[in-house]
Amino acid sequence: MAKSLIVGDILAVLFSRFEEGTFHWAICIPLDDSKAAKYHVRQSHLHWWFEDPVPEHDILVSQTLSAAIKIDLLGSLNPDVVSRDILRDILMPIPIAVPDVDKDREPRFTCRVWFREAIRRLHNHRVILCSNVDELEKECNTYALGNQAAYATWGAYDRKVSQYSV
């Protein structure tokens, strides 16, 4: 169990929602041992938007943290991508719509659909190495289901490293 975040990690982070078995999906970049920049989309009624400015989230005290999975190291593949602003510039333009590649499997836009496209874009920009979004999603979901609604402060969060990235 990790008692602190590791600066430089790129994390897939899943937070429990009120509906059992569902999660809020985000990409986080640790800023220090407990806080991270949280790249995600939000919803108000039926309206979705990318949260900008990118918020800082104290992940380790989140009562809804279910999984934080390391998917790569910032700057490991592309040394030009090491700032929060560059990541925001890559992720913010993602359309609030189901991408063509997911039209057959996704009936509507959600934060998970956004996450999948974010992973593709990060891969295409050589920020992460993850050519199989489907397997990464399954892996993240499995970890989160095993720890749903866990309190990160109960002995720290269980830091996982993806086998489909890094």
Q: What is the pLDDT of residues 31-55, one digit of tens each?
A: 999 899 999 999 998 799 999 999 9
Give residue 126's pLDDT band: very low, low, confident or very high (50, 70, 90): very high
* Side-chain-facing half-sphere of 92: CA atoms under 13 Å: 10
Question: Full-prediction pTM beyond 0.75?
Answer: yes
- Of 166 and 100, the one with more pLDDT: 100
Mean pLDDT in residue range 60-82:
85
Query: Which sequence spans correspond to the domains of the chain?
Result: 9-161
Cα–Cα–Cα angle for 87, 96, 54, nearest 5°? 35
In angstroms, rounded to a whole number, what is the distance separating the alpha carbons of residues 36 and 20? 25
Q: Exposed e or buried b for every residue in 89-124, given b needs 16+ CB within 10 A?
A: ebbeebeeebbeebeeeeeebbbbbbbbbbbbbbbe
Residues 104, 111: Cα–Cα separation, whole Å = 17
> Residue 19 pLDDT more than 90?
no
